[in-house]
A and B are shown apart, each in its own frame.
Chain A
Amino acid sequence: MGEVMILTGNYSAAYAAKAARVQVVAAYPITPQTSIVEKIAELIERGEMKCEYVRVESEHSAMAACIGASAAGARAFTATSAHGLAYMHEMLHWAAGARLPIVMAVINRAMGPPWNIWPDHIDSLSQRDTGWIQFYVESNQEFFDTIIQAYRVAEDPEVRMPAMVCGDGFLLSHTYQPVHVLSEKEVEEYLPPYEPPFDISDVDNPVTHGNIVLAEAVGTQVGYMEYRYLMQVGMLKAKDKIKKAADDFKRMFGRYHGALVEEYRTNDAEVVMVSMGTLAAQAKYVVDMLREQGYQVGSVKLRVYRPFPYEDFIRIGRRVKVLVVVDRNASYGYCGISAADIAAALYGEKNPPLIMNFIVGIGGRDVTPDMQAELFMRAFKALEEEKEGFICEWVGLKGD
């Protein structure tokens, strides 16, 4: 099914937007995302992609234009990285609050200063609480497939939350891999046309969207808090929808990348490494390597970060002795962002695993398979020493 093309992660995202029949793209350049929107511009000018393209003057405007388009009934797409995503922040809350199922590709990159354009997860993880579904992908194929899945989940009437699909800068964005590219036609049945939650273009049934809502519920009118609670309901509902979107995708196109998490050789594992994006791809390779040497190790790819798959971590946590949680980010003054969420999920467990949180690869610093293997070894040593609880450590600092 589809055509195999050799694509960078960015081109893969551009072709996914095309296959998803997006109707409006509003975008702004930023390294390492730029070639997504350049490719889309090219596809449109070549007449290969039918879509309106708004070449906006900032990312704040890019997201605002997507909000306008989505509210007027068009399927909207954008892409950004780091500072661009941070500059959208206000509009991210707006898109989610308006329940507009915009999908955005995020190419993960570090934040300045100092300027740095290399992979780091701080950009998207620091947008965690805006109400966006967050996917993290490990390959260009997963990037393509997940953008299509993301529209299906985001637009589900029971969900209606925007979604970002995040891929590592350069490691995916500028790395060529074979990708099965589906056509618009092939995707049509899986992803039916967009039905907006409300339609601001409908002059026969005028709606005013976004007026003031008071804190208190008055009479039959619900208050602001109820609207926010409905976002929570939509997000929680998204869990089943993500699973179904992945299963249906597998059934129709034969590919599966996991649902909220993807487990790899975890069944009898004593030590499991949890990571996101390309780190998870490399972790599988390291697991195979250590398995050959007789170590009972496994890997968990944290594929969906919001809604957070805490049930999966409770289930996995009951089976394993150590969770090695690798974060390509840090919440200054605490620990890695994902480790804090995972630890919270395991609170109250009778025999929780030891959590070893390692901060690695900040600003694109190389994370080698040897380094990951070493982290596994550290876990086995901690087991011998009967360590318990939670440890957080920055790995590979100069002077270590």
Chain B
Amino acid sequence: MSAQRYPLEEYFYPGNASCPGCGATMALRWVLKALGKKSIMVVPACCTSVFMGLYPKSAIGIPVLNIAFAAAAAAASGIVAALKARGKDATVLVWAGDGGTVDIGIQALSGAAERQTDFIYICYDNEAYMNTGIQRSGATPYGAITTTTPILGKREHKKNMPRIMIAHDIPYVATATSGYPHDLFRKVKKAKEKRGATRYIHILAPCPPGWRFDSKLTVKISRLAVRTGMWVLYEVEDGKFRLTGPSKALLDPEKRLPVEEYLKLQGRFSHLTREDIEEIQRWVDRQWELISKMVSKE
């Protein structure tokens, strides 16, 4: 798809209150471009509740319902029901952080997905609670320093939320990252078209202050996450698994960059020992073993 085929309309505006180099806002801009005007967005407590702006200003050009931290998917279920009751039509989107998705919001999300609620749920994953100042979440990777794992770094690995969503047998699950916006755009479009049930997209969204890297490196780090295999780009459409983008070429471990290439640019990993790095490398390799099983299932 060539660049001029992307819609020129913007629904996420400049002048918002996000940090420079914010991977979440880069992704949100493309998500809203792909969804277009006839969409309604639900946002639980997260960085987005702050960077959307101080009332009466808003950086978002579609209707937004802010909601309590645990409640996004349930509130969206209510919107979907009301649209049906009133004979109206719109795409309902939940835009939530990793904490609001993999931790406190997982119950509401699982319930909505099991009911095959007709909505798109997008988790932008900056791998910690950034709104409250970098506390660990279930999505924080092994070894990362956060303010609740301040010295040793997190001792557990990242929860694999997309796999949990695949287990819900919904028609579309995809992963994406801020540094590959075309891949993201295509996936959001596809999710938009698959009406009638729940669609889930999980976006790895680098965060300069939270991960401690220079704000000019967001795209580079996002791409290194993919190139090292720390983050895998794929989609599962009606049960069919498919690697996408650069991840397609990475089934062979030899093709993947060593994880250190990704880790060494980020202050949150600066204290890691050799063993820690090896542990992360082993984790990546294990993730890919699972991926290769999903690929061969096709």
Instruction: Identify the A interface with B (CB < 8 A).
Output: 28-31, 34, 37-38, 41-42, 45-46, 55, 57-58, 83, 87, 112-115
Contacts and interface: CB of A to CB of B under 8 A. Distances in A.
B68 interface: yes
B69 interface: yes
For chain B, which range describes its interface: under 10, 10 to 19, 20 to 34, or 35 or more residues?
A: 20 to 34
A118 B156 CA distance: 34
Contact of A41 (B66, B104, B106, B148): B148
19 contacts: A28-B104, A29-B148, A31-B132, A34-B132, A34-B133, A34-B135, A34-B147, A38-B147, A41-B147, A41-B148, A42-B150, A55-B136, A57-B104, A58-B70, A83-B45, A83-B69, A113-B66, A115-B49, A115-B66
Interface of B: 45, 49, 55, 66, 68-70, 103-104, 106, 129, 131-133, 135-136, 138, 147-152
A38 B66 contact: no
A83 B68 contact: yes
Contacts of A34: 132-133, 135, 147
A45 B135 contact: no
A29 B49 CA distance: 16
A113 B65 CA distance: 10
Contacts of B66: 112-115
A29 B131 CA distance: 10
B148 A112 contact: no
B152 A29 contact: no
A112 B65 CA distance: 12
Contacts of B138: 57
A29 B70 CA distance: 13
Nearest to B107: A58
Contact of A42 (B45, B131, B151): B151
Contact of B150 (A41, A58, A83, A112): A41
B103 A57 contact: yes
Contacts of A113: 66
B151 A46 contact: yes
Nearest to A27: B148
B24 to A, nearest CB: 17
Contacts of A42: 150-151
Given A31-B132, A57-B103, A57-B104, A45 B152 contact: yes
Contacts, number: 58
Contacts of B133: 29, 31, 34, 38
Contacts of A115: 45, 49, 66
A114 B132 contact: no
Contacts of A57: 103-104, 106, 138
B132 A29 contact: yes
Contacts of B147: 34, 38, 41
Given A29-B132, A87-B70, A37 B151 contact: no
Contacts of B150: 38, 41-42, 45
Contacts of A37: 135, 148
A30 B132 contact: yes
B55 A114 contact: yes
A301 B43 CA distance: 40
A119 B45 CA distance: 18
A46 B149 CA distance: 11
A123 to B, nearest CB: 13
A87 B108 CA distance: 14
A314 B233 CA distance: 69
B112 to A, nearest CB: 17
Contact of A58 (B104, B131, B148): B104
Q: Which of A31, A45, A57, A112 has the most CB atoms of chain B within a 10 A radius of its CB? A: A57
- Nearest first, the 8 A-B pairs at minimum CB distance are A57-B103, A45-B151, A58-B104, A29-B135, A29-B132, A38-B147, A41-B148, A42-B150
B45 A41 contact: no
B68 A55 contact: no
Contacts of B148: 29, 37-38, 41, 55
B286 to A, nearest CB: 23
B129 A29 contact: yes
